[in-house]
Amino acid sequence: MKRGVREVSPRTVITRRDRRLDQSSFLDPVLRRWGRTVSLTDQDKEALAALPWTRRVYPRDAYLAREGEPTSICTVLLGGFAFRQKLVSDGARQIISFHIPGEFLDLQNCLLDVADHNVQALNRASVAAIPKAALLDLMTARANIRRAIWLDTLIDSSIFREWVVNLGRRDARGRIAHLLCELADRLRAAGIAEGEACDFPLTQEQIADATGLTAVHTNRTLQALRKDGVISLTSSRLVILDWNRLVEIGDFNERYLHHSV
Amino acid sequence: MKRGVREVSPRTVITRRDRRLDQSSFLDPVLRRWGRTVSLTDQDKEALAALPWTRRVYPRDAYLAREGEPTSICTVLLGGFAFRQKLVSDGARQIISFHIPGEFLDLQNCLLDVADHNVQALNRASVAAIPKAALLDLMTARANIRRAIWLDTLIDSSIFREWVVNLGRRDARGRIAHLLCELADRLRAAGIAEGEACDFPLTQEQIADATGLTAVHTNRTLQALRKDGVISLTSSRLVILDWNRLVEIGDFNERYLHHSV
DNA sequence: CGTTAATTTGAGACCATTCAATTTCGGTGG
DNA sequence: CCACCGAAATTGAATGGTCTCAAATTAACG
């Protein structure tokens, strides 16, 4: 069952910049996402903007957090993609979630003092690192933000549940189709996709590690989806040629993403 | 891929009893669990005891909640076992989690207005149904309870992550061993197990639906574990004969259960 | 003590894996 | 701008874990 996992030295590049310059770029995608379900006042937004944070940039495959290590910060993904994973005893890797800009990577750190999984940059990624104590204080002070953050973790949880279903009860074709549906849907909701096309930097090995398959079988299954005219996937670019078909193959129902309520 | 799923009419038996009589039995297991990580004052406990709630009893396999339906309550399991599940398009069932007395079944209902999965009684089960508005008010008023409830949902989430790993990167033997480890560990922590033995009312079909296997293969795998002298499992009773061995087979590490922090 | 659910058994088929080798792609230095 | 390099994608063939289907046996329960 062993599958190769490239190990990359965590040489983190840390950069500090003037807070006021980056302020809007840090908050905008987060506010956009939260705005779908929670209404924040100007006071709420000011309080968020006043949060202390540090910008960090990571190269591809770098670890942002490691299982077993103590937690002190929460991170928002600003640019690039990231994923969370766990390693099993024989060295195989299971990817647990993918993340796109504007999403928190580890809100559970607020209350959990030791990480129970790893976080890796999928491609070159930049994040905002916020001391968890500051976030907790903000949650104590502002009910709307408290609700938004809790809701964020609850939706996270809902997505894990759907992944359990995906891995447990769908075949290779269905699993991959479902994953593509989810990512396309989230990229669209975030305003990052362009119509039916989007940047899609996942390697086939990463898709395999997320769907519980091998890279070889992932390759064959993707080819079948291409041959059937459902998708086009080349050089980090995904085009969904037949959305309805993909939804049917993946048995995809967006309810679990809770874009509203 | 279709697997049989018995459908049971949701004839719920609802019983009301004098709140003061049941009060302690409702709270004790919850407080015991929360006490491992959060310290509650007497005021906190009084506020919890003042929560409005209704006792409900469900027969085996009855639905306590259905995907797509609006949510209005949160439920604590008082007696019996329960599980959460989702059905896929071909009718197959994936069990997402099992629950033992003292655990909340659906805290996410506090913020999510429509259920994204189903909840079923595993055997005859009784629950306390609490209006979610009352819980939210209590969380606004009392920081410790707020923390305890959020932490509960975060640990829930951590367990889902581990299930993703279990389904994605372990073979049948490992998946079943891991599930047994988790349940035994949680039952022990709840003080429900007796040493290495515990009540274990799951059918092989339910174990199969939780591990992404068929009932037939689950049967053969359990037999192998018995033959190897790792477990004894008969007539709703599980005895773990060789804990270390089971832990090794299931690649089990209790960290994700967050019994502390 | 009868009836249904649950467990067990067998044999064949299939989906996905393994292992290895080849081809293509993306980035880099000269 | 092109040759080069390692990573990623692709291909083939053999193996194997799990599934399917069906039937038999055992256990649970009123």
Q: Check pLDDT > 80 for residue A227.
A: yes
Give the chain B residue whose CA is nearest to the CA of A136.
Answer: B147
* pLDDT band, very low/low/confident/very high, at B20 (cuts 50, 70, 90): very low
Q: What is the pLDDT of residue B235?
A: 80
Give the integer Cα–Cα distance in Å for A150 and A158: 13
User: What superfamily would CATH give domain B16-156?
Assistant: Jelly Rolls (2.60.120.10)
**pLDDT value, residue B83:** 98
pTM: predicted TM-score of the whole model, two decimal places: 0.93
pLDDT band, residue B26 (cuts 50/70/90): confident
**Residue B249: pLDDT over 60:** yes
| Arithmetic mean of pLDDT over chain A | 91
Q: Does nucleic acid strand D have an atom less than 7 angstroms from the CB of A218?
A: no
pLDDT score for A54: 94
Tell me the C-alpha to C-alpha distance, in Å, between residue A255 and each of A159, A260, B67, B141, B168.
10, 9, 10, 31, 23
pLDDT-derived band at A18, boundaries 50, 70, 90: very low
Q: Where are the domains of chain A?
A: 16-156, 170-257
Taking the C-alpha atoms of residue B68 and residue A14, their distance in angstroms, rounded to an integer, is 45
| pLDDT higher than threshold 60 for residue A76 | yes
What pLDDT does A2 receive? Answer: 42
Measure CA to C1' and name the residue nearest C6. B203
The answer for A 64-103 residues in CB contact with B (under 8 A) is 67-68, 84, 86, 88-89, 92-94, 96
3-class DSSP assignment, residue A159: helix
Residues 8-47 of B with CB under 8 A from A: none
| pLDDT greater than 80 at residue B155 | yes
Q: What is the mean pLDDT of residues B155-162?
A: 98
Q: Are A86 and A117 in contact (CB under 8 A)?
A: yes
Give, as one character, the DSSP assignment of residue B256. Answer: G
DSSP secondary-structure letter at B39?
P
Quickly state the pLDDT bin for A24 (edges 50, 70, 90).
Answer: low
- State the CATH architecture for A170-257: Orthogonal Bundle (1.10)
| Percent of all residues in chain B with a pLDDT value above 90, rounded to a whole number | 87
| Chain A interface mutation, best of B153, B164, B179, highest count of A Cβ atoms under 10 Å | B164
Residues 61-80 of B with CB under 7 A from strand D: none
- Number of other residues whose CB lies within 10 A of the CB of residue A61: 15
Identify nearest nucleotide to residue A202 by CA to C1′ distance. Answer: D8
3-state DSSP call for residue B176?
helix
pLDDT bucket at B261, cuts 50 / 70 / 90: confident
The model's confidence at residue B133, banded by pLDDT at 50, 70 and 90, is very high
State the virtual CA torsion across A225, A231, A232, A236 in degrees, nearest 10.
-100
For residue B214, the SS3 value is coil
Top mean-pLDDT range of A208-217, A252-261, B11-20: A208-217
Residue B25, pLDDT score: 55
Work out the percent of chain B whose per-residue pLDDT is above 70: 90
pLDDT at B33: 94
Please tell me the predicted confidence (pLDDT) of residue A25.
55
Residue B244, exposed/middle/buried by CB under 10 A (0-12, 13-18, 19+)? Answer: exposed
pLDDT band at residue A27 under the 50/70/90 scheme: confident
The pLDDT score that the predictor gives to residue B16 is 42
Say if residue A44's pLDDT is above 60. yes
Q: What is the mean pLDDT of residues A74-103?
A: 97
Task: Provide the pLDDT for residue B14.
Answer: 42
pLDDT tier, B161 (very low <50, low <70, confident <90, very high otherwise): very high
